[in-house]
Amino acid sequence: MMYTSKTTVFLGAITCLTLGAATASAQHEGMMQDKGAARSETADKPVNAMCPVGKEAIDPATPTVTYKGKTIGFCCDGCSEKFLSWADADKDQFVALAMAGKEPGNTSGVAAKPVASRRVGDPYMLTTCPVSGEQLGGEMGDAIVKVYDGREVRFCCKMCISDFEEDQAAGFEKIDQQIIASQLPYYPLTTCVVSGESLTGDPDMEPVNMVYNNRLVRLCCNGCKEDFMADPKAYLSKIDEAVIAQQSDAYPLKTCPVSGEPLEEGEVVEVVAGNRLFKFCCKKCKRDFKKNPTAVMAALDKAWAEQGGVPQ
C-alpha cells in the first residue's frame, strides 16, 4: 500500500508539472499573440507625415506600402511606385528620418501621429448617419462626431461607430457617393480645376469625381488627381473663388441662417463648405454653423430650390 501511495504522489507531481508547463506555454503563446497584434496594429499606421516623393502631407485615402515592416504613406497614387524604385539605402534613410519627425517637408519636426484628432477641410455635411441611414439630430439626439485622419464623420449612435470602424474603406466609399450626389448641383466649375480642360466637352471621357476631406472635386482625368494632391490647398482656393463668384449675387437668403439677423452689407462673414456659399452676420454664427452644419445647409438648400437652383 505504501508503494502505491508513493506512486500516486509521484504521478500526481508529474501531472502538476505537466499541467503547469502547459499553462505557462499557453500564457506565453497568448502574450506573444498579443504582442504580435500590437506590432501589427502599429505597423498599419504610416510612420511618415510627409510623402517621400511629393514632400506634401500624406493623404489617408491613398494606399500605403510596407517596407521592412514599416508602413509608408503617400500624397497620391503615383508616388508609391517611385518610392519603391529607390535604392534600399535611400529608403532606409527616409524611414529613419520619418520616425524622428525629420523627413523632407516636415517643418514641424513632429513625427506622424496615427490618427488626427482635429478636422481638416470641410465638416461632415450629410444629413444622415452613414451606417443606419437615420436622420442626424432627430429622435436619436445630437450626432456623435468622430475624426479619422483629419476627416470628420457624424453618427447617430455609438453602435454605428463600431460597425463603421469594422470596414472603414467600405464606409468611406458609401459616404463619398452620397457627397458626390449632394454636391454636384452646386459644383461651380465646368472645367478641370487643374488642367482647365472641359468636363463636358468629350462624350467619351467621363469626369473624375473625387472627394477630398468631404469636398467634391471634379477633374478631367486621373493624371490631374496626382497634380491636385501635390497642392490641394491651392486648387481648393480656386474652387472656393468660383463658388463665391457663382452664388454670391443670387444668394437666396436675406437673413443669417443661424441668428436670423439681417445680412448687413460690409459685415457679412462668408464661408464655403460642401461647395456651397454660406453668409453669416458674425463670426460667432460661423463657429456655430461648423458645430452643426446640416440644419443650416437644409435651410439654404431649400431656399435655392425655391429660387430655381444655383446659377449655371
CB-CB contact of 72 with 64 (8 Å): yes
CB-CB contact of 289 with 230 (8 Å): no
Sign of the C-alpha dihedral, residues 211, 213, 215, 218? negative
Grade residue 117 by pLDDT with cuts at 50, 70 and 90: low
Show the cell assigned to 1: 500500500
Cα 62 versus chain centre, distance: 10
Block residue for cell numbers 506555454 = 25
- In the DSSP assignment, the letter for residue 278 is E
Sign of the C-alpha dihedral, residues 3, 8, 11, 17? negative
Q: What is the pLDDT of residue 203?
A: 72
**Percentage of the chain modeled with pLDDT above 70:** 82
Q: What is the pLDDT of residue 153?
A: 95
φ, ψ for residue 36, nearest 5 deg: -65, -40
Sign of the C-alpha dihedral, residues 113, 117, 122, 127? positive
All structural domains of the chain, each given as residue ranges with its CATH number in brackets, are 40-113 (no CATH), 115-166 (no CATH), 184-245 (no CATH), 248-312 (2.30.170)
Which pLDDT tens digit goes with each residue over 40-88? 333 468 999 999 998 888 877 678 999 998 999 988 777 898 999 999 9
**Percentage of the chain modeled with pLDDT above 90:** 59
Closest to 126 (Cα-Cα) out of 167, 183, 168, 185: 183
Which pLDDT tens digit goes with each residue over 9-33? 344 444 443 444 444 444 444 433 3
> Which residues on adjacent β-strands are paired with residue 218?
209
Strands (E), 183-244: 208-212, 215-219
Q: What is the distance between the alpha carbons of residues 56 and 76, in angstroms, rounded to a whole number? A: 9
| 202 vs 121, more confident | 121
Q: What is the pLDDT of residue 199?
A: 92
Mean pLDDT, residues 145-161 taken together = 92
Q: What is the distance between the alpha carbons of residues 236 and 11, in angstroms, rounded to a whole number? A: 77
The region of weakest confidence among 55-64, 233-242, 257-266 is 55-64
Which pLDDT tens digit goes with each residue over 172-199? 999 999 999 999 999 999 999 999 999 9
Model confidence, pTM: 0.62
Q: Is 68 left (phi over 0), alpha (psi -120 to 50) or beta?
A: left
H/E stretch holding 276: strand 276-280
Average pLDDT, the chain: 83
Show the cell assigned to 171: 464606409
Q: What is the distance between the alpha carbons of residues 148 and 34, in angstroms, rounded to a whole number? A: 25
